[in-house]
Amino acid sequence: MKRLAALALPALVLLPQAAFAHPGHGEAAGLVHGFLHPVSGADHVLAMVAVGLLAGLRGGRALWALPASFLALMAVGAGLG
């Protein structure tokens, strides 16, 4: 089992395209596509709606803190590539 884990880790590191959650990343063409990508798929829109609903249910400071942290972490993810 340890040998399998020792072989699986380098395979996961060397094959990052296997981690794509959905197809369609190959035809990315420019800045506009990058800005439209988060609102072009139902999965992304549902995640944003869920963050908004959770913030509304929590109330108080969460009304701005949860969406702001969501956007900040998306920016961190974009920076990491």
Kindly state whether residue 63 falls inside one of the protein's structural domains: yes
- pLDDT score recorded for residue 56: 96
Domain total in the chain:
1
Range 49-75 average pLDDT: 94
Each residue of 16-57: pLDDT tens digit? Answer: 665 566 666 566 667 777 777 778 778 888 999 999 999 999
Residue 72, pLDDT > 60, answer yes
Residue 58, pLDDT > 90, answer yes
Q: Which residues contact 67 (CB under 8 A, 6 or more apart)?
A: 51, 52, 55
Kindly state whether residue 5 falls inside one of the protein's structural domains: no
Domain that holds residue 67: 37-81
Cα torsion 51, 40, 74, 61 to 10°: value is -30
- pLDDT score recorded for residue 81: 67
